[in-house]
Chains A and B, each alone.
Chain A
């Protein structure tokens, strides 16, 4: 079973629309990371959340970690074509330190 479940698997939105991607863990999250990947390239670090209830923003992207620290959401406001790519959540310490887990990813396509 997947330690981290991401939804939706893919998303197509019209430019200017808002969207949300979710990442759910069956275990308490000690550190939750969001990355973005352009096809076939490396991952770009977006932000990291550690405390329950924490919320961070970078430009038009906001991520939250829920109070119980088992779910995170990534929200993009007024999406642009430059937001297109694969968004991955990742976590460590899920009962196995020094090992890092990734969700299956959400493929985002933004139509101009």
Chain B
């Protein structure tokens, strides 16, 4: 089985721009969660999607949004980028939360200049 894939792997943007990140889950997984990882804050939960519905979200501003498609693929969008948005963005897929193991993609490294 193919693992979780994320594209692109690296991105450089400037302040004020917007960005869209993509995540393809493991085949058969319906839950996709997104995380932001920074040296200062560690791994923080952004949101989780299941069957195209956002079931839960973390404490991030509305500039962070996401969606999930019928094939379970998910996208995450960040609008009006700020320097502090520079981070490693990880997505994880599972059959469902809670209780099922999440498998992580390699991440997208976003740098905001």
Contact = CB atoms under 8 A, between A and B. Distances in A.
B56 to A, nearest CB: 4
Interface of B: 4, 33, 35, 42-45, 48, 50, 55-56, 58, 88, 90, 92, 97-99, 101-107, 109
List 10 tightest A-B contacts by C-beta distance, closest first: A92-B98, A98-B56, A102-B43, A43-B104, A42-B104, A98-B55, A93-B98, A42-B106, A99-B56, A104-B42
Interface stretch (A18-26, A28-36, A57-65): A28-36
Nearest to A39: B88
Contacts of A30: 98-99
A108 to B, nearest CB: 16
Nearest to A103: B42
A42 B105 contact: yes
